[in-house]
Structure 1
Amino acid sequence: MSKLEISVGQFSDAGAKPANEDSIGLHVPDEPMLTNKGMVAVIADGMSAAADGAKASQVCVHNFLTDYFSTPDSWSVKTSALKILSALNRWLYGQGHSVYGSSTGLVSTLSALVLKSSSAHIFHVGDTRIFLLRDGDLQTITRDHRTHTGGRDFLTRAMGIELALEGDHQVVAVQPGDTFLMTTDGVHEWIPDRDIKKILIDLADDLIGACRSLAQTARRNGSNDNLTAQAFTVHALPMQDEESYFNELTALPFPPLLEAGQILDGYRVIREIHAAKRTQVYLVVDESNGEQRIMKTPSPSFSDDPLFIDLFLHEEWIGRRLNSPHIMKVIEPDRPRQCL
């Protein structure tokens, strides 16, 4: 069984400011915690106008890292993280009012990534960013929660600024070779994405150097803020668990009804074997090697039925784990899927 293998780089500096109000953290636990909960990376940027932005960011990073691994194994990643974020937000909000007497007493951005099995769960509030570098292509996978008014930028969402927390959550399928980069605005606001990509590619074998180079480049370009970057590259992933498997497949569209000669995911339909209300079964041939297979597809009329989708996915999930001469073997896909 393969194991998670990553390389990590971090750099944080006050930059042009007298104090550093940014915080970062990353933790890869030992087994069995790694399998049950995954690894976590967090970045936070204390709001400059807050009474104690540094404390706010430190609490966000420290508490998320420690509290996440204290949640029950039976909780999903999403349930665990959202409960922690909600409680942490209420604490920051309450302390901000009771200790500092202000709605901006303890306020910070927070972006967290939980890598469990082969899925990256992204939780995000504010304008820190998470990037994904894959196959030479860099994309931003978070969106900034801020607005531009009167020549200035203002956060529209942050930890501790309101009693009710509204953040973003998404799940990204992870591949070996992926590099995730987390930055505060003192870095990414001062470097074009093309230069960020070049630094990550040029220093792929030295992520500490890459993070340092990003901060130094931002400073040379005129950044007047704290400078923080954290990156990790995934070299190997563990066996995909059920939650990650379902997350990946439920993002795919339903296939249309197929006819002889049509091709789906590299399989050409020879003929329909059976059609029922819920599913269709086809005899197909693998275009890559000429081998005949049986393909089962879900009926498009059930594309909005979550119970049906769950049951359909469980058929394959269970079938891939059975090995018996009396049961048809479920083939492991060797190329990306376009449909469920």
Structure 2
Amino acid sequence: MTKQLLIQTGQATDAGRKKINQDYIGVNLPNDLLVNNKGIAIAIADGISSSQVSQVASQAAVNGFLEDYFCTSDAWSVKTSGIKVLSALNSWLFSQTQNSPHRFNKDKGYVCTFSALVLKSNTAHIFHCGDSRIYQLSGQQTKSPKLEQLTMDHRTIISSTESYLARALGVQQQLDFDYQSVQLNVGDYYILTTDGIYEFVSEQFIIEQIHKHHHDLDQAANSILKQAYANDSGDNLSIQIVKIIALPDLDLEEISQQILSLPIAPSLSPRMEFDGYLIQREIYISSRSHVYLAQDIESKKQYVIKTPSVELCKDTAYLESFLTEDWIAKRIDNAHVLKAPNSIRPKNFMYLACEYIEGKSLSQWMRDNPNPSIEKVRDIVNQVAKGLQAFHRQEMVHQDLRPNNIMIDQQGLVKIIDFGSTKVAGILETKNMKEDNRIQGTALFSAPEYFIGYGGDSRSDLFSLAVITYHLLSGKLPYDTKVSRCTNKKDLQKLQYQTLQHFDELGVAPWVDEAIKKGCHPEPLKRYQEVSEFIYDLHHPNKDFLRKTRPALIERNPVAFWQGVSAILLGVVVFLLAR
């Protein structure tokens, strides 16, 4: 039986010798699907004693994180989801203080420390700000076990009796959070605690109580809390203990389960009924997939049906990639990205159903329009860029952007299709796999970093978009076919961009050429870092490019040039006569 992530938890919190408990703790253990896609979250917060409202901050931070984290896209990585949620919470707490009587005294505002643990697949993700702590107790240490502190205290020490928090939620409008990830192992313990506990209980006592009460971690937590109180702790007391009981198999995920449960679709032909669809005609047949135009028998709407090739039915990696296309299409809602309908009936076979676009590929459009205007090119590239941005917002990299994977319908709407090569951060994380750095797309439009063994990112998609822009304007490629022959960094440095200014008949402004050149620079760090920057410079003359491409004075104003030369010569003559 395939294993899933399974944990045991125990926790305890108490006001201690204070009137109000300004600590707050929580755990969110969602259903099995969310555990696979998003993981399990544990959080602890400690309000500052100088504030009368910091308990509100602690509760809002913990509850907000435990709820909002699971509302983020499951295509996002844990790090991205966590940081975005915490940044929003920090801004909200800061605004609460600013709108209170304590806006000039942050020590009395909505401020708290925060530490969280997100367990997903085989990895623990740690978010931290302040002086709460997260420890790890290895289950593999049988002799002299020790607690390993995974977080760093954000506290500035002034003297042996005086210190203050250097970082906490709600202090500044913008705040840096510590993040790290560690490998999970069965039998490991993770302990989250506030300073009211760890400053008054020895690490050895904590270890002894965990081992003594390993079947009841709530009892272990309460024993540790009572010992801290007995040792004269004057602060609030909070502790959480998490034990890793079982870990999922490395290849476990929803997609893999579908592979095991769905049979390969049979060979289809026109007028054949298939899973609620009427097959109308073949669209495209290849060694990797078969694509058909079909009509939903109930709704009468037309769809495209894509089935995997029978020859690859035993290739698990291919089938995972095939099913990921449907997963992606249902998570990106953008007018410029191919849509997949939400199925109203269960599938009986492995196939993809997506919207039918009545139009032509960009490749065909280029053959029909060999000399497009710069404005038409801008319009097409703008629409593709909007689709790409939808991918990048979900931490997805398309990796195979090319004219054949771009469609234009009869109204001129441009859509990105074919997600078989798309890299999804959330899926890579769930599978706990190393990134596949092999070339996923077509060589002519792929970024050079793929060819030298580096993984691609959003800038790689930008490279492809800039090459497509160049191709639309000239019908050629900026580096010909030399990119595909790169094998190391030195090869990248040898690539020479073929300026569009060599093609006089195109009439492309030099600053437009410079924008395209920067967009498809061989080195990712020297490209635009965002698609939006490229699009802006494609429409607006960049001042740096204007200075760089401005013609010499003799070309712009010959009269002024020769007047200047004459004035200089006259000055020289006067100087010589005066001597």
Bigger radius of gyration, 1 or 2? Answer: 2
1:308 aligns with 2:453: yes
Give the distance between the partners of 1:77 and 1:64, measured in 2 at CA.
12
Partners of 2:100 and 2:433 in 1: CA distance: 45
Give distance in 1, aligned partners of 2:100 and 2:430: 46
**Partner Cα distance (1:42, 1:132) in 2:** 15
Which residue does 1:146 correspond to in 2?
155
* Cα distance change, pair 240–99 in 1 and its aligned pair in 2 (3 A): farther
2:303 is matched with which residue? none
Instruction: Give yes or no for the alignment of 1:159 onto 2:304.
Output: no
User: Which range moved further: 34-43 or 137-146?
Assistant: 137-146
Q: Deviations over 1:272-330 (max 9, x none)?
A: xxxxxx9xxxxxxxxxxxxxxxxxxxxxxxxxx9x83659xxxxxxxxxxxxxxxxxxx
Which residue of structure 1 lines up, in the alignment, with residue 320 of structure 2? Answer: none
SS of equivalent residue, structure 1 residue 32: helix
- Of 199, 220, 232, the match for 1:222: 232
SS of 2:31 mapped into structure 1? coil
- Structure 2 distance, partners of 1:57, 1:23, is 6
Distance 1:230 1:249 in 2: 31
Out of 220, 227, 242, the residue aligned to residue 210 of structure 1 is 220
**Which secondary structure does the structure 2 equivalent of 1:112 belong to?**
strand
RMSD, aligned CA = 2.4
- Matched residue type, 1:174: L
Conserved 8 A contact 2:44-2:192: yes
| 2:123 aligned with 1:119 | yes
Task: Give 2:62's aligned residue.
Answer: 61
Aligned residue for 1:9, secondary structure, equals: strand
For 2:195 and 2:249, how far apart are their aligned partners in 1?
A: 35
Report whether the alignment pairs 1:170 with 2:164: no
Distance in 2 between the 1:224 and 1:167 partners? 28
Rounded Cα–Cα distance in structure 2 between residues aligned with 1:248 and 1:16: 48
Q: Which of 165-174 and 132-141 deviates more?
A: 132-141
* Structure-to-structure mapping, 1:184-195, within 5 angstroms: 184-195=194-205
Gaps of at least 5 residues in structure 2 are 252-426, 438-449, 457-579
**Cα distance in 1, alignment partners of residues 127 and 454 from structure 2:** 25
Shift of 1:148: 1.6
**Aligned residue in 2 for 1:8:** 9
Q: Is the alpha carbon distance of 1:174 and 1:310 closer, same or farther for their aligned partners in structure 2, counting shifts above 3 Å? A: farther
Distance 2:28 2:431 in 1: 25
Structure 2 vs 1, CA of residues 65 and 100 (structure 1 numbering), >3 Å: closer, same or farther?
farther
Calculate the TM-score normalised by the size of structure 1. Answer: 0.72
Equivalent-residue separation in structure 1 for 2:6 and 2:102 (angstroms): 46
- How far is 1:246 from its partner? 8.6
Q: What does residue range 241-260 of structure 1 map to in structure 2 within 5 Å?
A: 243-244=428-429
Any conservation in 1 of the 2:36–2:430 contact (CA below 8 Å)? no
1:100 Cα deviation (Å)? 3.5
Q: Distance in 2 between matches of 1:100 and 1:171?
A: 39
Please report how far the alpha carbon of residue 3 of structure 1 lies from its aligned counterpart in structure 2 after TM superposition.
1.2
> Aligned partners of 1:310, 1:117: CA distance in 2, in Å?
22
Could you say if the C-alpha distance between residues 35 and 245 of structure 1 is closer, same or farther in structure 2, counting changes exceeding 3 Å?
closer
The worse-fitting range, judged by mean Cα deviation, of 237-246 and 155-164 is 237-246
Residue aligned with 1:308, SS: coil
Task: For 2:12 and 2:99, locate their aligned partners in 1 and report how far apart those are by CA, in whole Å.
Answer: 33
Change (3 A) 1:140 1:69: same
Which residue does the alignment assign to 1:29?
30
Aligned length: 260
Residue in 1 aligned with 2:76? 75
Which blocks of at least 5 consecutive residues in structure 1 are unaligned?
251-277, 279-304, 312-340
Q: Which amino acid aligns with 2:131?
A: D
Offset, 1:2: 0.6
Give 1:26 shift. Answer: 0.4
Higher relative contact order (CA 8 A, sep 6+): 1
3-state SS in 1 of match to 2:453: helix
CA distance in 2, matches of 1:205, 1:244: 30
* Partner Cα distance (1:236, 1:2) in 2: 7
Q: Structure 2 CA distance, aligned partners of 1:120 and 1:144?
A: 19
- Paired residue for 2:247? 237
Q: After TM superposition, give the deviation of residue 49 of structure 1 in Å.
A: 1.2
Question: Once the two structures are aligned, what percentage of the paired residues are identical?
Answer: 41
**For 1:56, what is the secondary structure of its paired residue?**
helix
Are 2:38 and 2:120, in contact at CA under 8 Å, matched by a contact in 1?
Answer: yes
- SS of the equivalent of 2:98 reads helix
